């Protein structure tokens, strides 16, 4: 099993496309591009997603390309709710985040392989071999890291 890699990077060019889709038209490296968005719109984007039961809690599931790329970015901690499940995923980014995330990397059976607590904004994190990632607002994790 490969270790988790957490590294600081610049804003990815793909984020410009996401900002364009959201109508904000931001530039690379401009985290303020998410500011000023209406909170109800952001909260409703999670409400429209399908829901699955994972580790005893119901969470929205990011199935489409845009929902997978945006994730919880731009949301306040309270608007993020219980988190977000990203299936068929082994690596995530925290660009555009307003709070730290606890990341739970899951195997094919939905069991935790590794918990990475308090990942700050503007980072990449991944675990080769994981089948899904559960993004949780800081403090909502399922316990200490499993190595």
| pLDDT(14) > 50 | no
3 state SS of 126: strand
Number of DSSP helices (H) and strands (E) in the chain, helices first: 3, 9
pLDDT digits (tens, 9 = 90+) for 35-79: 443 433 335 788 889 999 998 888 999 999 989 998 899 888 888
Give the other-Cβ count within 10 Å of 6's Cβ: 14
pLDDT digits (tens, 9 = 90+) for 94-138: 999 999 999 999 999 999 999 999 999 999 999 999 999 999 998
The pLDDT, as a whole number, for residue 57 is 85
State in Å, rounded, how far the first CA of the chain is from the last one.
9
The pLDDT, as a whole number, for residue 142 is 55
Q: Exposed, middle or buried, 59 (CB in 10 Å: 0-12/13-18/19+)?
A: buried
């Amino acid at each position: 099993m490969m270790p988790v890699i957490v590294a600081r990077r610049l804003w990815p060019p793909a984020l410009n496309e996401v900002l364009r889709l959201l109508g904000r038209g931001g530039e690379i490296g401009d985290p303020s591009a998410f500011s000023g968005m209406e909170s109800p719109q952001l909260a409703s984007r999670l409400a429209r997603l399908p829901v699955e039961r994972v580790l005893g809690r119901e969470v929205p599931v990011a199935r489409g390309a845009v929902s997978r790329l945006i994730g919880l970015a731009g949301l306040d901690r309270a608007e993020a709710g219980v988190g977000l499940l990203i299936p068929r995923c082994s690596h995530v980014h925290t660009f555009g985040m307003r709070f730290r995330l606890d990341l739970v990397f899951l195997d094919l059976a939905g069991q935790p392989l590794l918990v990475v607590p308090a990942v700050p904004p503007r980072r990449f994190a991944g675990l080769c071999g994981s089948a899904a990632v559960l993004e949780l607002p800081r403090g909502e994790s399922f316990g200490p890291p499993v190595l």
